[in-house]
Amino acid sequence: MGRQSLIRLGKRVNVCVVAALMAHGTNVRAEIYDCRPEVKYECSWPACERITEGFRHAEYFIFSESDETLAACLWTGCYEGVSTKYMHPDGFTAVGRLQKDGSRDEAKLLSLSVSNDKRFTAIWNHSGDGTTLDMGICTSAD
């Protein structure tokens, strides 16, 4: 069975994906983190602008522990790729180069840090002139 794209899961995790993850015969609990931003910061020289409205419907981040797939839907489209997960005492950070859905050429570097209490910070839109940060809460389906 092929890997189903996480970015197509939308607002809720597909039950088939969760069942497939559990069917791998492992006793290790593999979570899927569905992270929705509550606040956004667009940073450039010399400061960051706090944004609280008008972006929540267009941006979300999903991380699958089973295969370390990281996905994001942003204003510019949806992106997905394999990440590297780094554990730390307060949770983990997943970093990956995500390809735009249907494009080989367009990619974004994204890091998603999730704390043990499911708060997250996603950093994307990296450039020498600034970056974008989204912060909020993740829910999980396991």
Residue-averaged pLDDT of the chain:
82
Contact in structure between 132 and 110 (CB atoms under 8 Å): no
Left if phi > 0, otherwise alpha if psi is -120 to 50, otherwise beta: which for 20?
alpha
Q: Which residues are within 8 A (CB) of 4 and not within 5 positions of it... i.e. 6 or more apart? A: 14, 16, 17, 20
Q: How confident is the model at residue 10 (pLDDT cuts 50, 70, 90)?
A: very low
Q: Of 134, 67, 57, which is closest to residue 96 (Cα–Cα)?
A: 67
Which three-class secondary structure string do you get for 91-141?
A: EEEEEEEEEECCCCCCEEEEEEEEECCCEEEEEEEEECCEEEEEEEEEEEE
Q: What is the pLDDT of residue 106?
A: 87
Per-residue pLDDT of 73-118, as tens digits, reads 998 799 999 999 999 999 999 999 999 987 878 889 999 999 999 9
**pLDDT tens for residues 27-47?**
456 799 999 999 999 999 889
Q: What is the CA 34 to chain-centroid distance, rounded?
A: 7
In this prediction, residue 104 carries a pLDDT of 79
CB–CB of 133/43 below 8 Å? yes
The single-letter DSSP state of residue 9 is G
